[in-house]
Amino acid sequence: MLAHERTVSPHTLRAYRREIADFAIYLAEQGVEVRSVDHLQIRDYLGELYGRGLAKASVARSLAAIRSWFQWMAKAGHVTSNPGALVATPKLPKHLPRVPSIEQMNHLVDTASSAAAWPERDRVIFELLYGCGIRNAELVGLNVSDVHWAREVILVRGKGRKQRYVPLGDAAADAIRAYLPSRQIKLRAKASEALLLNLQMRGTGRLTTRSVGRIVKQISLAKGLPAEIHPHTLRHAFGTHMLEEGADLRAIQELLGHERLSTTQRYTQLTVGQVTQVYDRTHPRAK
């Protein structure tokens, strides 16, 4: 159902399959049938996960999978209700994303190709992740036809089959134009709709999210940035730096493809200093 109706990512499918299988093994060991599971037994299972040393985030992911499973079974008539709905989600600590400064990001993007295996392609990766703020999965899912040159936008396919148009800046557009001829050479007259090609697949396969993560980390380390840099860091930097430069939070929400404004509001916690400066500079009662 998840694969065909909600088109979740392969990573999510693997995670849910693993979590539900582990819960099923636990029920079998306890001699409990699925139809008779109640919320107390789910709580006991979460307690066992804590006993194994799992972090709150991992336990919360297991609960999310179990809830979704019982929700589907209830709709299909296999159980009468969803006992997972009665179990509270573990309260997760708020880890604010640490992002490089604007100066660090400009240096990284401007010089990324000098440390790249495929300079033209890898420059596009950095320009789109930071310049457009798209997700890793959205990046590798781009097709050549998704670049709308006349409108200066790219069509991005986000979570849950949702699509949005994201402005294509001059730097990103120049990077794509410089990359397309080398892409055509790698194809060697073969056909591929994927914008970003994988060198490991003789130039015809689509680049994977794992490959993008490896490329971003290797180049970032080569440029002196911390080891924890990953593709999502560039997306966070996109939103944070736009907010620091005065962009409207709702506009950032649209660009990032966030369903809830509360998700976008995480970026406001990173820029308290900027907000204070604006208040001191503009409000008549601040001084």
pLDDT of residue 270: 56
**In this predicted structure, what is the pLDDT of residue 189?**
65
HSE of 105, CA atoms in CB hemisphere, 13 A:
25
Nearest-Å Rg of the Cα atoms of the chain is: 23
pLDDT of 97 reads 64
Residues of the chain with pLDDT below 70 are 6-7, 94-97, 189, 201-204, 267-279, 286-287
To 5 degrees, how large is the angle CA 149–CA 147–CA 128?
A: 110
For residue 161, the model assigns a pLDDT of 74
Of 144, 143, 162, 146, the C-alpha closest to 154 is: 146
Query: Could you tell me the two tokens for 137?
Result: 């999965």
Specify the pTM: 0.70
Catalytic residues: 135, 159, 232, 235, 258, 267
Determine contact, residues 131/238, Cβ cutoff 8 Å.
yes
Place of tokens 């990173």: 270
User: Any residues with CB less than 8 A from the CB of 165 and at least 6 apart, and which?
Assistant: 148, 151, 153, 154, 155, 156
Output the pLDDT for position 192. 87
